[in-house]
């Protein structure tokens, strides 16, 4: 090989030909040589040309192993050391070019082999990329879209995380080699342009790329890459707002349905009216402004009347007797066609009058007149129809494609006429005529107008869409510029459309938020948006300005002590491509009203001792509003509570289903459901697509939004409380039996397409925490756009959500328009009652492009660490120290931030119930907990604890999920996330003294568990027993409580309403409980507002604010406060946890100084 150049060229040509034959790709003239200066490359290419016509299907096909062996022979060290450098580069460039041809193969295994081989060659010779892309345009095009291809494959294999296929690994290795070559040889980028990330709707775009563009403005190096990319949740990650957008009804007359849609579904729709087609005047011809006869219709009528007169004259002449020789025995002309019909010229004359659009003057023709048409002696030419020829497709009032430029044949005039413009006006119709232009052979129906198409998908009708807004927090700007407007970005999720929109937000000082929609991050941007924009594609630029309402009508509470603020705003825009037909083409305006809920903001406006208390030195994240049920999507057999968090089965009319008010398309989400009353096998807990929504499966039918959804059956995929999963009528043994009082957690991983469940209940008197494992897989809203993907990883062999059963190989089912999955509850037995817990977590998740870029970043770090000391670039005159490249700047900055984070000793990473059983297979709901005293004090204040629990404190737990534990448990305080105090159980006082599976994961407490000694700190605690001020919602300032229910108020011994709660008496109707006797106000685990009161005839106990179930009549009415503001205690109102924590922190620092700590 070294000594003989000819032998080397023969081996090289054999390798190139074998790769081509194995790839089954024929030689094309597109692979033309651009540079003929390299004789070696020219010789090898000529060999390919000579052999290109040989039949590839010979008796001895090429052997892949031999081809790889010969490639290794040409690349071995012995050959490279003895050949000159220019020959080495030419040899390896030709080999790289030959193996790149195999990348175009239809065979995935062969593409994998070619990717690995090409990557190895490129690592040895980075200059080969320049030679290959400059010589072969197909290879240049392939590498320009390589990153998009690899990103789609990485996303397709997300279900198998943390492993990937060998094929995906080979593609990543090839892309890494290309990126490495571009860093070493920038000239290679001259012959191909690396496309920006362009993927299909089944592959989400990264938010991180947008952040990097504006990082200097929005995120000045203030967060970890794990937080920003979504791998780990943190207080500095996202703030969650939930709510809805009501799209108002459009003021227009809805157009009638088009019959063309039925024809198009059958494949018989009208053809496109394009250049050269024939047209006539249409139904809206006379409705034009200054309508006239430019089509020549008057000329046609005049000529037709003239010819009619001639024909009448001919009839008079025909009434005279004819010679015998000219008539047959039957009195009819003998000169006919052999078939008994009129001759062709006469038939044309008849057909002119047979046209439906033309009028025959005399309809009562005599037999003598009919015989006139059959005469061949007098032929009359047919009248030319007033036809026009389409010259071009034009726009009308700025809307393209709804008009045609027509030249009329009789007059020669030209004009532009509406063909669907002005709201569906048709000045012309599409016709097909005979060759003589005297007869209309076919009239095509008018196509469906844009207005009719939009109305078919629900445009113009009022509807309510649920939304979820994720705001990216910027702690440094929030602390430094708290007195100015803040700019941030976020994701506005529209689950009804199966999409997430990138938004730019401005947080104003008065609490208002300006939301500007920019682009689609995931979901379809080109279809499915008719109901909102009146056109299939997404329209960026909508601006919502939402402001806090003065008198909130909260969904979550029935009084002014709500922990959530309501923000209300609207947006209005003119539809670009639709017009109102009734007013002659007027513009249509769509108005939308947005209503969002968020936790109350901390604002210290009081003064103590003349010192202004400011909480801006510590920023905490707020909890998201709880998930509720959708009042518009529930079966008639199910009733909703006032706060929409509890559903009750009222009748046994089928298996009723109710949907949640928050849907998910992307990310990882976990929520819990509490079973208050449940018969065995009568409760269904799961997820489903919402019927009738633009992203739902029923939207494919015309006017599907008009039909009422069938909700008297269980929809989607779910778990039934008799140890089984259920979907589409198929059941499978799974999980555990669940009874009244138990809590079931649902883990929905939209990215990997898995549904799992978590059980928190009591079995034989013992508290059980158990991860039930994966129930379904392959249910990703995006689908999986590669054959065989959708399973693996943590799927544990669960049934596929696509076919409802086990299958060893799933088909490729990438979603053109991603759908959304909504929490659903199904009830069957009357009296069953289920409550949606306030405990839930959500994460935006990680996209495939981010995963790929991380892999490329690791490769870049390794290459820089090695200094790129390659044999071809290590020469004698280059110093080794100079050849070593420096580490990337971003790597140094991230490392420094991670060091500072570790040094601060503020963060503690922990898994949660939403993390799943396998740490590497699920990500997004692992949390970095904030262990700072201020954050922990704020979280403790949010649940009404009298003192602050700090990380490291041990706590005796006597309550869990609304249940009093028979055996106490010991928990370790970890830290806070989103204003909630997280803990981990470390022991259970049971016979075994150990935790069941799932008990060691972190979770958080709510206010129902922190009542009446439910949580008791062991020892003194690290908070130094400093008193924590109680929030105003736990101790409301009122003028008392008046019993307004006729049956009185039942007093119970416990906050919860269950069999173990003792009924200790009743307070009669009309009694007023003074403020001093109102001890506390709390929400129990089912969301019921309860008051702890002292009533002398009964004693101390809990009463409810409303009747549970039914119409939920008021039991007590809050009387207005009689205080005039002189009482100093009335001024010390703590509206938010931050307000209370600020006062505690001041006293805590003083206690530390007093103790000399």
pLDDT digits (tens, 9 = 90+) for 751-779: 989 999 999 988 887 888 888 989 998 88
**C-alpha–C-alpha distance, residues 933 and 948, integer Å:** 8
pTM of the model: 0.85
Across 1029-1035, average pLDDT: 88
pLDDT band at 799 (very low <50, low <70, confident <90, very high): confident
**Under a CB-based contact definition with an 8 Å cutoff, are residues 463 and 277 in contact?**
no
Q: What DSSP state is assigned to residue 923?
A: -
pLDDT given for residue 358 in this prediction:
40
**C-alpha–C-alpha distance, residues 75 and 95, integer Å:** 9
pLDDT given for residue 873 in this prediction:
45
Across 967-971, average pLDDT: 88
pLDDT given for residue 968 in this prediction:
85
In DSSP notation, 689-712 reads PPTTSTTSGGGGSTTTTTSPP--S
Averaging pLDDT over each range in 178-192, 205-219, 919-933, which range is the top one? 919-933
pLDDT given for residue 322 in this prediction:
53
CA dist list (Å): 46 to 36, 55, 733: 11, 17, 66
Rg (CA), the chain: 39
pLDDT band at 602 (very low <50, low <70, confident <90, very high): low
What percentage of the chain has pLDDT greater than the value 70? Answer: 79
Check residues 925 and 706 and name the one with the higher pLDDT: 925
pLDDT given for residue 851 in this prediction:
92
SS (H, E, C) 795-856: HCCCCECCCCCCCCCCCCCCCCCCCCEEEEEEECCCCCEEEEEEEEEEECCCCHHHHHHHHH
pLDDT given for residue 989 in this prediction:
55
pLDDT given for residue 709 in this prediction:
73
Kindly tell me if the per-residue pLDDT of 610 is higher than 70.
no
pLDDT given for residue 1109 in this prediction:
80
pLDDT band at 476 (very low <50, low <70, confident <90, very high): very low
pLDDT given for residue 944 in this prediction:
92
**Under a CB-based contact definition with an 8 Å cutoff, are residues 252 and 479 in contact?**
no
Kindly tell me if the per-residue pLDDT of 209 is higher than 60.
no
Kindly tell me if the per-residue pLDDT of 488 is higher than 70.
yes
Across 147-167, average pLDDT: 89
pLDDT given for residue 997 in this prediction:
56
**Under a CB-based contact definition with an 8 Å cutoff, are residues 811 and 673 in contact?**
no
pLDDT band at 516 (very low <50, low <70, confident <90, very high): very high
Residue 325 CA neighbour count, 13 Å, CB half: 0
| Strand 963-977 to 833-843 pairing | unpaired
Kindly tell me if the per-residue pLDDT of 867 is higher than 70.
no
**C-alpha–C-alpha distance, residues 642 and 627, integer Å:** 14
3-class secondary-structure state, position 452 = helix
**Contacts of residue 10, Cβ cutoff 8 Å, sequence gap at least 6:** 47
Spacing of C-alpha 543 from chain mean position? 20
pLDDT given for residue 242 in this prediction:
94
Dihedral sign for Cα atoms in the order 676, 681, 686, 688: negative
Q: Helix H segments across 627-670?
A: none
Across 159-170, average pLDDT: 89
pLDDT given for residue 971 in this prediction:
93
Across 190-212, average pLDDT: 70
**Under a CB-based contact definition with an 8 Å cutoff, are residues 786 and 809 in contact?**
no
Q: What DSSP state is assigned to residue 1115?
A: S
Check residues 605 and 1061 and name the one with the higher pLDDT: 1061
Residue 407: Cβ within 10 Å count: 13
**Contacts of residue 49, Cβ cutoff 8 Å, sequence gap at least 6:** 27
pLDDT given for residue 924 in this prediction:
87
* Strand runs labelled E in 897-996: 907-910, 927-930, 954-960, 963-977, 980-988
SS (H, E, C) 319-388: CCCCCHHHCCCCCCCCCCCCCCCCCHHHHHHHHHHHCCCCCCCCCCCCHHHHHHHCCCCCCCCCCCCCCE
pLDDT given for residue 381 in this prediction:
63
Q: Return the bridge partners of 756, or none.
A: 747, 774
Omega into 162 within 30° of 0, i.e. cis? yes
3-class secondary-structure state, position 670 = strand
Q: Return the bridge partners of 971, or none.
A: 955, 985
Considering only CA atoms, which of 685, 451, 435 is closest in space to residue 585? Answer: 451
Residue 881: Cβ within 10 Å count: 7
pLDDT given for residue 336 in this prediction:
37
Element housing 756 (H / E): strand 754-763
Residue 192 sits at the vertex; the CA angle it makes with 94 and 883, to the nearest 5 degrees, is 70
pLDDT band at 35 (very low <50, low <70, confident <90, very high): very low
Across 436-448, average pLDDT: 91
pLDDT given for residue 342 in this prediction:
42
Residue 302 phi/psi, 5-degree rounding, is: -65, -45
| Strand 611-612 to 1116-1118 pairing | unpaired
Residue 1020 phi/psi, 5-degree rounding, is: -80, -30
Dihedral sign for Cα atoms in the order 493, 774, 963, 685: positive
pLDDT given for residue 943 in this prediction:
93
Token pair of 411 as six digits: 């007059």
Angle (deg, nearest 10), helices 85-101 and 108-124: 160
| Strand 611-612 to 954-960 pairing | unpaired
pLDDT given for residue 502 in this prediction:
94
Residue position matching structure tokens 């016509």: 53
pLDDT digits 0-9 by tens, 287-315: 888 888 898 888 888 888 888 888 787 77
Question: Counting Cβ atoms within 10 Å, is residue 1031 exposed (0-12), middle (13-18) or buried (19+)?
Answer: buried
pLDDT digits 0-9 by tens, 355-387: 434 444 444 445 544 444 444 445 556 788 999
3-class secondary-structure state, position 450 = helix
pLDDT given for residue 208 in this prediction:
63
Token pair of 944 as six digits: 């009404």
Check residues 448 and 376 and name the one with the higher pLDDT: 448
Kindly tell me if the per-residue pLDDT of 616 is higher than 60.
no
pLDDT digits 0-9 by tens, 1089-1132: 999 999 988 899 999 999 988 888 999 998 887 655 455 444 46
**C-alpha–C-alpha distance, residues 713 and 207, integer Å:** 38
Residue 516: Cβ within 10 Å count: 18
**Under a CB-based contact definition with an 8 Å cutoff, are residues 918 and 925 in contact?**
no
Average pLDDT, the chain: 81
pLDDT digits 0-9 by tens, 1040-1079: 899 999 999 999 999 988 777 888 999 999 999 998 899 9
pLDDT given for residue 29 in this prediction:
41
């Amino acid at each position: 090989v070294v000594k003989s150049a000819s032998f080397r060229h023969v081996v090289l040509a054999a390798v190139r030909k074998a790769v081509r034959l194995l790839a089954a790709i024929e030689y094309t003239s597109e692979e033309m040589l651009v540079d003929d200066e390299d004789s070696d490359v020219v010789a090898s290419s000529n060999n390919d040309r000579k052999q290109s016509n040989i039949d590839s299907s010979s008796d001895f096909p090429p052997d892949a192993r031999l081809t790889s062996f010969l490639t290794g022979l040409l690349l071995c060290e012995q050959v490279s050391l003895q050949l000159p450098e220019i020959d080495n580069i030419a040899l390896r460039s030709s080999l790289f070019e030959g193996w790149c041809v195999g990348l175009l193969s239809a065979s995935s295994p062969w593409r994998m082999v070619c990717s690995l081989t090409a990557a190895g060659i490129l690592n040895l010779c980075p200059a080969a990329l320049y030679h290959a892309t400059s010589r072969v345009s197909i290879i240049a095009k392939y590498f320009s879209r390589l990153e998009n291809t690899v990103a789609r494959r990485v996303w397709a294999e997300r279900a198998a995380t943390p492993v990937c296929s060998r094929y995906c690994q080979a593609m990543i290795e090839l892309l890494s080699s290309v990126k490495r070559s571009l860093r070493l040889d920038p000239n290679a980028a001259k012959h191909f342009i690396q496309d920006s990330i362009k993927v299909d709707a089944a592959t989400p775009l990264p938010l991180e790329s947008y952040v990097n563009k504006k990082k200097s403005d929005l995120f000045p190096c203030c967060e970890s890459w794990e937080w920003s990319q979504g791998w780990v949740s943190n207080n500095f990650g996202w703030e969650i707002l939930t709510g809805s957008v009501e799209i108002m009804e459009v003021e227009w007359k809805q157009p009638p349905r088009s019959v063309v849609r039925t024809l198009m579904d059958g494949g018989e729709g009208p053809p496109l009216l394009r250049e050269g087609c024939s047209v006539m005047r249409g139904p809206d011809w006379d409705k034009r402004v200054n309508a006239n006869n430019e089509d020549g219709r008057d000329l046609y009528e005049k000529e037709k009347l003239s010819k009619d007169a001639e024909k009448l004259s001919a009839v008079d002449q025909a009434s005279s007797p004819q010679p015998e020789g000219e008539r047959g025995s039957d009195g009819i002309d003998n000169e006919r066609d052999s078939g008994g019909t009129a001759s062709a010229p006469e038939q044309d004359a008849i057909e002119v009058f047979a046209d439906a659009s033309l009028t025959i003057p005399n309809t009562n023709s005599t037999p003598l007149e009919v015989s006139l048409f059959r005469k061949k002696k007098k032929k009359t030419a047919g009248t030319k129809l007033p036809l026009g020829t389409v010259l071009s497709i034009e726009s009308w009032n700025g809307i393209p494609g709804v008009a045609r430029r027509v030249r009329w044949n009789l007059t020669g005039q030209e004009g532009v006429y509406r063909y669907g413009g002005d709201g569906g006006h048709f000045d012309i119709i599409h016709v097909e005529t005979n060759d003589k232009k005297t007869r209309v052979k076919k009239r095509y129906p008018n196509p469906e107008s844009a207005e009719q198409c939009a109305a078919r998908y629900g445009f113009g009708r009022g509807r309510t869409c649920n939304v979820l807004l994720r705001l990216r927090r910027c702690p440094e700007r929030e602390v430094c510029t708290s007195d100015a407007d803040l700019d941030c970005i976020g994701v506005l999720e529209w689950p009804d459309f199966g999409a997430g929109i990138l938004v730019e937000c401005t947080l104003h000082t008065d609490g208002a938020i300006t939301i500007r929609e920019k682009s689609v991050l995931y979901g379809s941007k080109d279809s499915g948006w008719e109901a909102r924009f009146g056109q299939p594609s997404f329209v960026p630029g909508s601006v919502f300005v939402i402001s806090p309402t003065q008198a909130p009508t909260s969904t979550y509470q029935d009084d002014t002590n709500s922990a959530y603020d309501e923000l209300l705003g609207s947006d209005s825009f003119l539809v670009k491509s639709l017009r109102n037909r009734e007013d002659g083409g007027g513009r249509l305006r769509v108005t939308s009203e947005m209503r969002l809920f968020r936790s109350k903001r901390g604002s210290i406006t009081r003064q103590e001792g003349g010192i202004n208390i400011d909480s801006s030195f510590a920023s905490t994240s707020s909890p998201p509003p709880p998930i509720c049920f959708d009042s518009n999507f529930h079966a008639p057999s199910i009733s909703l509570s006032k706060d929409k968090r509890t559903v009750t089965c009222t009748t046994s009319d089928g298996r009723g289903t109710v949907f949640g008010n928050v849907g998910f398309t992307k990310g990882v989400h976990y929520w819990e459901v509490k079973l208050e009353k449940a018969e065995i096998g009568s409760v269904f807990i799961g997820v489903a697509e919402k019927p009738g929504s633009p992203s739902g499966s029923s939207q494919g039918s015309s006017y599907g939004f008009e039909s009422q959804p069938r909700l008297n059956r269980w929809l989607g995929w779910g778990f039934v409380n008799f140890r089984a999963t259920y979907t589409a009528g198929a059941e499978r043994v799974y999980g555990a039996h669940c009874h009244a009082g138990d809590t079931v957690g649902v883990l929905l991983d939209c990215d990997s397409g898995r549904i799992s469940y978590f059980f928190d209940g009591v079995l034989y008197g013992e508290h059980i925490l158990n991860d039930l494992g994966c129930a379904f897989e392959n249910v990703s809203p995006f689908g999986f756009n590669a054959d065989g993907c959708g399973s693996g990883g943590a799927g544990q062999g669960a049934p596929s959500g696509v076919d409802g059963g086990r299958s060893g190989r799933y088909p490729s089912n990438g979603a053109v328009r991603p759908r959304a999955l909504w929490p659903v509850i199904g009830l069957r037995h009357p009296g069953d009652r289920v409550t949606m817990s306030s405990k839930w977590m959500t994460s935006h998740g990680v996209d495939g492009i981010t995963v790929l870029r991380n892999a490329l970043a690791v490769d870049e770090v390794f290459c820089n660490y090695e200094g790129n000391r390659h044999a071809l670039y290590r020469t004698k005159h280059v110093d080794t120290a100079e050849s070593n490249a420096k580490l990337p700047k971003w790597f140094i900055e991230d490392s420094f931030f991670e060091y500072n984070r570790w040094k601060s000793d503020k963060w503690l990473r922990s898994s949660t119930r939403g993390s799943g059983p396998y740490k590497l297979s699920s990500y997004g709901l692992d949390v970095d907990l904030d262990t700072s005293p201020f954050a922990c004090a704020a979280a403790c204040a949010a649940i009404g604890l009298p003192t602050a629990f700090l990380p490291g404190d041990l706590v005796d737990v006597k309550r869990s999920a609304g249940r009093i534990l028979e055996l106490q448990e010991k928990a370790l305080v970890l830290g806070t996330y989103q204003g909630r105090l997280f803990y981990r159980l470390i022991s259970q006082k049971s016979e075994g003294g150990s935790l069941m599976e799932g008990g060691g994961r972190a979770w958080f407490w709510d206010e129902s568990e922190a009542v009446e000694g439910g949580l008791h700190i062991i020892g003194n605690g690290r908070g130094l027993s400093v008193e924590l001020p109680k929030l105003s919602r736990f101790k409301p300032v009122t003028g008392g409580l008046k019993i307004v229910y006729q049956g009185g108020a039942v007093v119970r011994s416990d906050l919860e309403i269950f069999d173990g709660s003792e009924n200790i008496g009743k307070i009669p109707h009309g009694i007023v409980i003074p403020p001093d006797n109102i001890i506390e106000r709390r929400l129990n685990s089912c969301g019921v507002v309860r008051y702890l009161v002292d009533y002398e005839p009964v004693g101390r106990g809990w009463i409810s604010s409303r009747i549970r179930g039914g119409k939920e009549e008021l039991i007590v009415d809050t009387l207005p406060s009689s205080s005039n503001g002189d009482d100093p205690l009335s001024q010390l109102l703590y509206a938010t946890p931050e307000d209370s924590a600020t006062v505690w922190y001041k006293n805590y620092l003083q206690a530390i100084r007093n103790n000399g700590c």
